[in-house]
Amino acid sequence: MADSQPSAVPAEAPAASEDVRLVVSPAMRVEQLDASAATIFLQSDGTRIRIPRALYGLLLEFETPRSMRVIVDDVRYGAKAATALERLRAKGFLVGENATVSSRRLLTDAPVRIFDAPAQKLETSRSDVVVLGVAYDLSDRSAAGARAGPAALRDASLQILYDVDRQNGRPLGWYDTDRRRPILRGVTIADCGDVFVQRGEEQAAVFARVEEVLGKVMGADSLPVLLGGDASIAYPAIHWLQARQSIAVVRIAVDARGRGPVHPSFVSPSTLPAHTLGLAGVTRYVHLGAAEAADQDLAGFSVLSAPALREAGGEAALARCLSDCRHVYVSVDIRSLEPPGGSDDGVAPSERFAYAELHRLLGLIGAQCQIVGMDLGGCIPMARCWGVTSMTALHVLLTALSAAKDR
């Protein structure tokens, strides 16, 4: 069980005195134990190490609080053992008797990375695109199962690999058969893995972790890309971006905009516009797709349905909505496309977009505005025809990345 972030700062800094009573951290877990070595990790932050079995046995003596002097003065161990224990203490496996261990884990490693791109450590990135999975789907019952979307998308993405030129080390990009031209040549991509989500914790805790990761990894020119998850995962990215520059939000989805009360701290698909437009740095929210019961009197909120966009002047109406928007965040729910074999969610096929329509919309948005962030959600691996849906979702993702970076 590994983590892509560096070791967290221990809850209690080592003291100079050998008389401080220490105890094994409550967050310490065993991954593997054999006759020669033990692999242990901290559930609180993911720090993982492999130590000799003898040192592991010595560590277990601190299951009962005791001072380091007990080891120093014991002729069986000597100075080397004390030094090894100090290292375990510095990494957080030994803590003060009364120390409080709080969870500081931010990320979990993904078994595979998107397109097999390089991994991104928990440090400022130099990549053009930084991908972050948010396996959260508790704000939308219709998206149940989307928490498995980030992992499933990464698995499917191994069919269209990221690769670099052997001579100059620059990314080769891909070939867009729809536009019949290369895309994303020279655009670097890195994958952070997934934000750590502890089941049952408050939504606000998950979102705060998303923002903390973005604050640590995003370079000045990096584009954050979130893999969801349900619609609500867009909110922490939008909140983080709008604090740095004024942005508009374009969401492409079929979920309805409700008129019900807005919870002050819990974000759902129906309240995402209100929460988002309540932020000082968000100037406009444009919803593309089916929007029944849309809250039209919400200042800054516009709706353009799929049928309206197909009509004469529909794309011009979108251009007018974005005419004063220099920077835009794009949120795409893959269910805005008609799924293979149809759907039974009550949304008419005409209210959804054809793939070619969505491809063109993303291109139009990227041509008029600078896309500064995006997410792809609504990916439910247990839904029927997932193999087709996943590849379509990945092509949509590449199209959106091209709209942002091939300017």
When mean pLDDT is compared across 141-145, 226-230, 362-366, 396-400, the lowest value belongs to 141-145
> What are the C-alpha distances in Å from 98 to residues 86, 93, 101, 102?
18, 14, 9, 13
Mean pLDDT of 315-324: 93
Biggest CA-to-CA distance, the chain: 88
Mean pLDDT of 205-213: 96
Residues 5 and 106 sit within 8 Å (Cβ to Cβ): yes
Every domain range in the chain assigned CATH 3.40.800.10? 107-405
The string over 334-344, giving b where at least 16 C-beta atoms fall within 10 Å of a residue's C-beta and e elsewhere, is bbbbbbeeebe
Nearest-angstrom CA–CA distance, 333 and 375:
8
Mean pLDDT of 209-238: 96
Question: pTM of this prediction?
Answer: 0.79
Asked if pLDDT for residue 48 goes beyond 90, the answer is no
**How many other C-beta atoms can be found within 10 angstroms of the C-beta atom of residue 109?**
18
Residues 190 and 117 sit within 8 Å (Cβ to Cβ): yes
**How many other C-beta atoms can be found within 10 angstroms of the C-beta atom of residue 260?**
10
Mean pLDDT of 192-212: 93
The CA dihedral of 140, 399, 368, 126, to the nearest 10 degrees, is 90
Residue 372 corresponds to which tokens in the numbers above? 């500064």
Burial of 380 (0-12, 13-18, 19+ CB in 10 A): buried
When mean pLDDT is compared across 4-13, 114-123, 252-261, 298-307, the lowest value belongs to 4-13
Report pLDDT for 260. Answer: 59
Q: If you search the block for the tokens 């919400």, which residue do you land on? A: 298
Say what percent of the chain tops pLDDT 90.
69
Q: Right CATH number for 21-96 from 1.20.1290.10, 3.40.50.300, 3.20.20.450, 3.90.930.60?
A: 3.90.930.60
Secondary structure of residue 355 in the 3-state scheme: helix
Every domain range in the chain assigned CATH 3.90.930.60? 21-96
Q: Which residues make beta-bridge pairs with 331?
A: 251, 375
List the one residue out of 305, 137, 317 whose CA is nearest residue 228: 137
State CA 70 to chain mean position distance: 46
How many residues are recorded in the chain? Answer: 407
Report pLDDT for 47. Answer: 83
Report pLDDT for 291. Answer: 59
Amino acid at residue number 237: A
Q: Say whether domain 107-405 belongs to CATH 3.40.800.10.
A: yes
Residue 354 corresponds to which tokens in the numbers above? 């054809």
Report pLDDT for 342. Answer: 72
- Per residue in 59-91, pLDDT tens? 999 999 988 887 777 777 767 888 899 999 999
Asked if pLDDT for residue 241 goes beyond 50, the answer is yes
Nearest-angstrom CA–CA distance, 287 and 61:
60
